[in-house]
Amino acid sequence: MSQTVPVRFADVDVGHELCTLTLTLSGEQVKRYAVVARMPGGRFMGDDDARKEGLPGQIVPGNLSMALFSRLIAESFPGATLKRLGATFRGLVRPGYALLIRGVVTEKHSSDHGDFIECDLILESAEGDRWVTGTATVRLA
């Protein structure tokens, strides 16, 4: 369940686990994202177009995986500001498969610019295959 109260820097320790998002993207959702995000390529549009490109079927754009990481941060730390987001696309993410998106706080630091946490992020299958890994820097309120 999403929290609505801002999370304070003092209340977060290294090792703090972010909430887990569990979802399954539909082919239509992926296509819609690709259109709105102006992603070229049939691989995002449907299975037939993707197979013409030598893929096993429609795939999820890496940018959408990053958006899911961004959503994870927003739901885990309401009121926080995302300062940096990085992702490595390790495997093909496909619509129709259950996805688990989770993360953990790995570091805390403060400067004149504010209080920050570093997070490791994972997008994986229900079987634990890590399809996308990422890191984020977040400024807490």
Partner 1 sequence: MAIEFDRSIIGSEFDRTVFDPVTAEEAREYAAASTESSAAEGVTSPTFVVRLRGRRFMPANLPDLGRMGFDAGKDIEFGVAVRVGDVLTAVSTVHDIYEKTGRSGTMKFLVLRTTVTNQRAEQVAVIDQKMMFR
Site residues, partner 1 (CB under 8 A): 29, 32-33, 35-38, 40, 61-64, 66-68, 70-71, 74, 81-89
Which CB atom, from 17 or from 28, has the smaller least distance to partner 1? 28
Which CB atom, from 33 or from 97, has the smaller least distance to partner 1? 33
Give the torsion sign (CA, 129, 61, 71, 85): positive
Residue 63 Cβ, how far from partner 1 at the closest point, in Å?
4
By the 10 Å C-beta count (0-12 exposed, 13-18 middle, 19+ buried), 137 is classed as middle
- Contact status, residue 47 vs residue 95, Cβ threshold 8 Å: no
Which CB atom, from 13 or from 51, has the smaller least distance to partner 1? 51
User: What amino acid is encoded at 134 in this protein?
Assistant: G
Residue 105 Cβ, how far from partner 1 at the closest point, in Å?
19
Which CB atom, from 45 or from 67, has the smaller least distance to partner 1? 67
Residue 32 Cβ, how far from partner 1 at the closest point, in Å?
5
CA 119, CA 102: separation in Å to the nearest integer?
A: 10
Write the CB contacts of 117 (distance below 8 Å, at least 6 apart in sequence).
9, 12, 77, 105, 107, 108, 137, 138, 140
Residue 99 Cβ, how far from partner 1 at the closest point, in Å?
12
Q: 3-state DSSP call for residue 10?
A: helix
